[in-house]
Chains A and B, each alone.
Chain A
Amino acid sequence: DAKTTQPNSMESNEEEPVHLPCNHSTISGTDYIHWYRQLPSQGPEYVIHGLTSNVNNRMASLAIAEDRKSSTLILHRATLRDAAVYYCILRDQAGGTSYGKLTFGQGTILTVHP
C-alpha cells in the first residue's frame, strides 16, 4: 500500500477552521484518499473520501492537490467534539487485496482548545 505522511499533532481553537495535511507522494492512479477519525475511547469513523476532485460533506471538506501527491482535510469550524486522531488512508479500489482493508498510519492528534 502506498504510504501517507501526516504531522503527529496539531492544535486549534474552537470555532476556527482546521486544515489537516497529508502527503502521499507515491499515490497510484487507482488509489482513493480516505479520511477517518477516532474519537477518544471509540472506534474509528469515516469522515470523507475522494479521488481527484475536491469533496464536501456535512462533516468536512477534502482538498486534493492537482498532482494528487497531497491532500488536506478541512474542518470549517472546529468544535471540542472534533478532538480526535485523524487518519489519512490510501485505498486501491482496483485490486481485490483491498477488500475490507484499511491501512492506517499513525495519524494526526488534533487538540481543540475552548
Chain B
Amino acid sequence: KAGVTQTPRYLIKTRGQQVTLSCSPISGHRSVSWYQQTPGQGLQFLFEYFSETQRNKGNFPGRFSGRQFSNSRSEMNVSTLELGDSALYLCASTPGLADLSSYNEQFFGPGTRLTVL
C-alpha cells in the first residue's frame, strides 16, 4: 500500500504571495489532518478534514485554509504569506471512522518544506 504523499516537497515563495500544498492520503483513508512544524513552536495541529468537511481546527489565523475532495485528497492554502510561515507542513491520514479509536495511528507524509523570503 502506498503511503501518504505530499507535493511539492520543497517550495520557495515571497512575502504576500499565496501557496497551495497537496496531500494524497493512504488509499481508503477518509481523514486528513494538517500540521505545521517550526523550530520554535514544534508540531502544531492546523485542521482535520473528513468526508470533505472540516471537523476540527487548531489555533491558526484565517489565512490558513484547507479543503478535501471526494477522493479524500486534501489541499491546504496559505494566503498573504509571512516570513513566519516558513515551516515544514505535514499531513497525516487515518481511516477516520466514527469510532475515535481508529485515530490511534496517524500515518504521516514526508512533508512540504515551505520557505518564505
Contact = CB atoms under 8 A, between A and B. Distances in A.
Contacts of B4: 43
B31 A44 contact: no
Interface size band for A: 20 to 34
A1 to B, nearest CB: 10
Interface of A: 32, 34, 36, 41-46, 49, 87, 91, 93-94, 96-107
Contact of A44 (B43, B49, B101): B43
Nearest to B108: A43
10 contacts: A32-B104, A42-B110, A43-B90, A44-B108, A99-B48, A99-B100, A100-B32, A100-B49, A100-B103, A101-B48
A78 B96 CA distance: 33
Given A36-B106, A104-B35, 9 more contacts: A42-B108, A43-B90, A43-B111, A44-B108, A99-B50, A100-B50, A101-B58, A102-B35, A107-B42
Nearest to A1: B45
A97 B94 CA distance: 16
Given A43-B109, A49-B104, A103 B90 contact: no
Given A99-B31, A100-B48, A100-B96, A105 B103 contact: no
A34 B94 contact: no
A100 B104 contact: no
B81 interface: no
Contact of A100 (B42, B43, B56, B111): B56
